[in-house]
Amino acid sequence: MLTDINMPVMDGEEFVRRMRVDGPFQTTPVIVISTDATTNRIHTMQALGAVGYLQKPFGPEQLRNELDRVLGVNHA
Amino acid sequence: MHEAAVNEMAVNKMAVNKMDALVGALLHSCSEHVLETMFFAAIFDQADASASNGRARLASRLHFHGKPSGDFEVDADPCVARSLTAGFLGIDESEVTPAQEDEVMAEFCNMTCGSALSSLGRVEYFRLETPETSRPPAFSPAIDGVRRAFLLEGGTLSVCLRVDFDRS
């Protein structure tokens, strides 16, 4: 699951918090995509269970590398 | 005025100038990185923001609160806004709608502000509010902060950041 943080209606922090409570998405890997790369924010999202963090702006290669890392894909 | 007070004022002024120079350099590098990475656009040169006086503009502004709080503003020539929108969405410029221009300039505002704040060093946390986009008939800055203007294909674009370190 890829999620931004700054979103209308429900922000990414609340979204991940609710995912982790119960239900089918409880263990789904979450990668956060945000402009906010402050240490506090990254630690908060990691504490909620996010396994990856991409700071905007990023290119397609960075996204692919992060997806590969999280999914354990090795192209070698 | 007492000599110590004069010296303190001079030191404070030097610190402010140093901070403004740091913020200015950050605005340049972050804008360039965001433009190249997400909008496939290049900065040709620095520009004079006020040189756009008298021509219609597209502006996007947001307030951020946290530690510190402040404001961020983007001002662009409509031709630049259209070109950036086409680049960001991967469509032809002739297909770009005004609503898409507003949304993409808001995204540029959000992304560049977040990138600059994350790089500033003295920022503990922040939350960006939703950017508001407008189309003023001329360059009309609403924020008194550090501004940098750039020449892009089609016209100029400027960004401005005001950080309230003292009020955090």
pLDDT, tens digit, for every residue of A1-39? 999 998 888 999 999 999 988 788 888 999 999 999 899
B79 membership: H or E segment, kind and range? helix B78-89
> Domain range spanning residue A61?
2-71
Distance from CA of A8 to the nearest CA of B (A): 8
Residue B37: which H helix or E strand, with range? helix B3-38
Q: Chain A residues with CB inside 8 Å of B114's CB?
A: 6, 34-37, 56
Report how many domains make up chain A.
Answer: 1
Residue A45 banded pLDDT, cuts 50, 70, 90 = very high
**A56 → closest Cβ in B111, B117, B123:** B111
Record the pTM.
0.85
Mean pLDDT within B38-45: 94
Contact A8/B at CB under 8 A: yes
Residues 6+ apart with CB under 8 A from A4: A12, A32, A33, A34
CATH number at residue A30: 3.40.50.2300
A46 belongs to a structural domain: yes
Would residue A76 count as lying in a domain? no
- β-strand partners of B74: B60, B159
CA–CA distance, A64 with B8 (Å, rounded to integer): 52
A68: closest CA of chain B, how far (Å): 20
**Residue A55 domain flag:** yes
Q: Do A36 and B117 touch (CB under 8 A)?
A: yes
